[in-house]
Amino acid sequence: MTAPPDTGGTPREAGYYHLTRAVLYREYLIFVRYPANAIGGIVIALFFFGVIFYGGRMVAGQALTDSIEGIVVGYFLWTLSVGAYSSISNDIGSELQWGTLERHVMTPFGFAPVALLKGVAKIVRTFITSAIVLAVMILITGTTLALHLFTIVAIATLSIVSVLGLGLAAGGVTVLYKQIGNWLNLLQFGFIVLISAPALELTWMNVLPLAHGSALLQRAMIDGTRLWEFPPLELGLLLGVAVGYLGLGYVVFQYATRRARRLGVLGDY
């Protein structure tokens, strides 16, 4: 490869635009260069859906067929949530082991904005893999769903942003207590309860992550309701829950990192 010419000039300062570009490009490179993880995730997600669908049909018969749209939409949201949550919390654990988290802490930007940008990348990545899972589920079950891209992306994104907040908080706990990461992964099974919240008809659950988003997504994909057809109050609640949990996760992560620095355990993996 031919060496580019020396720019000669003074190094220019990098801003958040450069940081965003660098973090997203890094995530992109890893996604396209090492697709095995993504493919493995898709295969496992479809395998479990196959068990639920075919096993459920054998056991419950028509009852399952009647509620299959809800199951497909719920499973789609669950794969999105698990993807966003585990990728961000596991990623923080990996960065901790590699020593790159420590290195980010002492940069002008710090690690928190990098973690948030990684979160954005993980959401995009998870959308790609979950869209494939959704397409295969629709083919397997023969279900008809309203696929208004803008509405689905907007509601699903806001739904999983709250989970991203939980992932950040879990990452913060990992910074402090290291090997706890695997236990925190068990939390993702709790998402099933949250996604099932609309069926439980418990109003107070709407302020929990995923619950309200799950209800709106069901209406969007099953009833065909467009984003602008939802009452503003419901959309406001969706946005509020998303921002609230993301903010909470960010605060927990920052607090945990600071506490780890105080205790001198930031890089002691």
Residues interacting with other proteins, by CB under 8 A?
A: 1, 3-14, 18-19, 21-22, 26, 29-30, 33-34, 98-100, 102-110, 114, 258, 261-264, 266-267
Using the minimum distance from each CB to other proteins, give the nearer residue, 14 or 202: 14
Residue 261 CB, nearest approach to other proteins (Å): 5
DSSP letter assigned to residue 25: H
Residue 171 CB, nearest approach to other proteins (Å): 17
Using the minimum distance from each CB to other proteins, give the nearer residue, 102 or 234: 102
Residue 9 CB, nearest approach to other proteins (Å): 7
Residue 120 to residue 127: CA distance in whole angstroms:
11
Residue 160 CB, nearest approach to other proteins (Å): 25
DSSP letter assigned to residue 264: T
Using the minimum distance from each CB to other proteins, give the nearer residue, 244 or 267: 267
Using the minimum distance from each CB to other proteins, give the nearer residue, 218 or 257: 257
Residue 103 to residue 95: CA distance in whole angstroms:
9
Q: Give Rg (Cα) of the chain.
A: 20
DSSP letter assigned to residue 4: P
Amino acid at 172: G
Using the minimum distance from each CB to other proteins, give the nearer residue, 230 or 269: 269
Residue 69 to residue 145: CA distance in whole angstroms:
7
Residue 21 CB, nearest approach to other proteins (Å): 8
CB 162 within 8 A of CB 123: no
Using the minimum distance from each CB to other proteins, give the nearer residue, 24 or 248: 24
Residue 172 to residue 162: CA distance in whole angstroms:
15
What is the token pair recorded at 48? 């479990």
User: Tokens 């509020």 appear where?
Assistant: 240
CA 227 and chain centroid, separation: 21
Task: Give a three-class secondary structure readout of 189-207.
Answer: HHHHHHHCHHHHCCHHHHH
Residue 249 CB, nearest approach to other proteins (Å): 21
